[in-house]
Every structure is written in C-alpha cells, then in structure tokens.
Amino acid sequence: MVQSHFRKLCLAESHYNIMRIPWPDRCTITFLTIKSCSLEEYNFLLQHLAYLRTFITTKFITDTSNQLNSLPSVSAYYSQLMSLMILNSSLSITEFESILSLTPSLVKLKLISYRSNFDSITNGSDWEYLIRNTLSSLRTFEFFFSYTLRKGTDTEDLTLMIDRFRTSFWLQEKKWIITCDYFLTRNTINLYTTPTCPKDFEKKMEPIKWMYGSLPCIIRFKSLPIDDKFNSNIHLLRGTDDAIQSQTIRNIDLENNGIGEDGAIRIAEGIKSIKTLTGLNLGKNQIGIRGAKYLSNALQQNMIINHVYLEDNQICDEGVGFLAEALKSHTTLVSLHLGSNKIGITGTQYLSNVLRNNT
C-alpha cells in the first residue's frame, strides 16, 4: 500500500480496519469504496486522503459511545471531496448534518436510509436549511428514506410532508422532484428523489415479490411543477403496472394516519378497481363530508365488503346519508363502526334503513 500509486480502491466486499491500513503520506487515491464506515473512520480518511474526490460506503454506522460528540470540537472541514454516497444507514438528520459539515464542497450526494422512527429526516425544510448553509455547491441530491412503522406509531399528514418539498428551492432552484409512496398493507412509507433511487429499492423488494407474487397497493404523492411559474399540486398515481396488482387486496387499514379529506378522496379513487376488498379501516382520520361522499361512491362498486371502520372522522348526518346509500345493497356487511362522529336524528334514520335492508 505504501508503494502504490493507484487512484481507485474498492474494499466493499470485506471488513477492514481503515485506521490500521498504512496509507502513504501523499496517497493518490481519488475514488474509494468501503463496506462500512464510522464517523471516526470517515474523519480519519478525509485527513489522510488529500486527493479523494469520491467516497462510497455501503453502510455508515454509529455506536453507543456517540461518535458525533466524541470528535474534537474544532470546526474542521475538507474541501477535496466532491461526491459522497452512503448506501445504507439509520442515521438521523442531526447525524447527517454532522457528517456533511465536514465536506462543504460536495457537488453530488446520495443517501439511502431505512428507519423505524418517523422523524425530521423527512422534513424538506430542514434539508433545505442544511443544504443552503452547509452544502452551497451541491448540484445533485439523490435520497431514498424508508420507514416501516410499528403499530400505533403517530405520523404526520403525508400531504403536509410532501408540501415541504414543493418550495421554490426544491422545484425552481434545484429542480429536484420528490415522491412519497405509502404501502397500504405493510404500513411502510418511502420518500425518495426521482428517478434514480427507486431502482435501489426495487432490487431490495425482489425477495418479497418472489414470495407474494405482487407488491401491495401503493398510494403515491409526487411534487411536480405544473408550469414554469411556481404552481404545483400533489399527484396521486394509482400504482404502476409493473409494481402492483391491486385486485388481490382484501383489507386496507390506515387508522389514525392524518389522511384528511383529500387523502380519503385519493384512497377512494384507488379502491374502485379492488373487487376483492372485504375490510376498510379509516378510523381517526378526519375525512369529513367530502371524504365520506367519495368513499361512498367507491364502495358502491364493491359488493362483498364485510367490515367498515370510520369512527372519529367528523362525519355528520349528510356524510352518513352518502354512506347509507352506498351500503344499503351490501347484504354481506357484518360490521359498521361510526363512533365519535357527529350523527344526529337524521343520520340515525339513514342507518336504520341500512340495517333493515341488511337483515
């Protein structure tokens, strides 16, 4: 190693103790790939590889000793690195900020992260602030953040989350388009730039596709500009032909997800083609009258629904009327949950008519 003059080094297949490698004083390496890296090792490499332009690590790790606070407090930074790729991590936005502050000259950045905690790593405003103040030269930013949420985990409204990536900074200045996918049956949220990072995820999904034959139904939100002026809307794509077969979905459970009226409308559009749907749970989502109306229209096209859960959704008599009209011909209905709504005498009458037809 001491006598070598090569420029590209790949150590991605095995674990090496980076700090024990005898790096030459004037190491000529410009491209380095390693399997895993800690913050201490990353700082060490930047100190010893003065010509390093591209660094790729399959996994960036932290330990319980909190490496981020164990490094010297001096404001050191390294201007040689132009491209950084971290292909697997569970780092928080604070940890990413500590890493990225070492290399303010980055031009290209690619991050892939799999987490179980829904936190500020998905906050477009935080990333905008970090990039403006730390990575002012950044031209290409590709990321893929995936969350498999535990049952009962609170999440914010997905439309609000994608809204933070619809500012002039993202759409006009940088022209970075962000997509958010919600996998209905596995409670997984993916947030990514297009078009590069989804390919990484599709590769990870191959074993699941092999086991189940198709991927679950997806609700997709995309931050797309409509014209040259800043005027963009969230778009829902009803899945993709190569990724889903929605006809196989039997149950959809999105309880307490902050869906709101607009989210309910999009879900209604998505379930119209699901002829096998027997259970729908949208409880605690504040879907309101409009949400109830669109869901009712969708349910009229499904004749085998057994269970409908819509408790705590700000549904009043008018909304119950829409639901009653949709469900009166569903003789297969077993349970209907409408607790904690705003149902009065008129709404009760609508429901009694449904019950008579269902006996």
Q: Which pLDDT tens digit goes with each residue over 238-266?
A: 333 333 344 456 778 778 777 788 778 87
Q: pTM score > 0.75 for this model?
A: no
pLDDT value at residue 85? 95
Assign a CATH topology to domain 249-359. 3.80.10
Residue in this structure with the two tokens 């949208």, named with its chain if needed = 282
Per-residue pLDDT of 95-127, as tens digits, reads 899 899 999 999 999 999 887 776 778 899 999
Per-residue pLDDT of 24-39, as tens digits, reads 878 889 999 998 988 8
Per-residue pLDDT of 300-355, as tens digits, reads 887 688 889 999 999 999 999 999 998 887 778 888 899 999 999 999 999 888 87
Q: State both tokens at 89.
A: 């991590």
Q: State both tokens at 357.
A: 């037809």
Whether residue 36 contacts residue 59, with contact meaning beta carbons closer than 8 Å, is answered with yes
pLDDT for residue 146 is more than 50: yes
Higher pLDDT, 18 or 74: 18
Can you tell me the distance from the alpha carbon of 311 to that of 329, in angstroms, rounded to the nearest whole number? Answer: 21
Domain locations in the chain as residue ranges: 249-359
Whether residue 312 contacts residue 284, with contact meaning beta carbons closer than 8 Å, is answered with yes
Higher pLDDT, 240 or 160: 160
- For the residues 46-57, what does the mean pLDDT come to? 93
- Please report, for residues 29, 133, 197, 307, the alpha-carbon distance to residue 250 in angstroms, rounded to integers and kept in the order given: 55, 48, 30, 11
Q: State both tokens at 224.
A: 């797309």
